[in-house]
Amino acid sequence: MNFNFKGLAIGNPLLDFDIDFNSKAEFFCSHGLISDSTCESFNKIGNPSQIRRQTVSGTLTDVCAGANKQVFSELSSYVDTYDITLSICLASVLQQAAVLHQLVRFIHILEGKKS
């Protein structure tokens, strides 16, 4: 049997549950995606690995649920949390209208109506 340990030598956070799950909180805090007070409560009151364990076991405490809710209430839906430097381009109103018009035409074709 032959094992390749090159990746292990560099370090793999997936080998440690706490490091893997808690890195999300560190990322949100270090990139300013959540406030300092929320960051502090997310790391001390209910960190992501603790929240995950409690959720899976069905024992999620109100304190941890509140910390998790606060974090996600501060995250903007306009920010890609996996790549915060990514430009999120919202389509113009005319582009959105064109897409909707095509959808309506397609529905009318399916229903046998003329558009």
Burial of 34 (0-12, 13-18, 19+ CB in 10 A): buried
- Tens digits of per-residue pLDDT, 17-33? 777 788 888 888 888 88
Q: How many CA atoms lie within 13 A of 44 on its CB side?
A: 6
Question: Sorting pLDDT into bands at 50, 70 and 90, what band is 14?
Answer: low
> CA 22, CA 35: separation in Å to the nearest integer?
17
Q: What is the pLDDT of residue 87?
A: 62
Query: Does the pTM exceed 0.85?
Result: no
- Tens digits of per-residue pLDDT, 58-98? 999 999 899 889 988 888 777 777 776 766 665 667 777 78
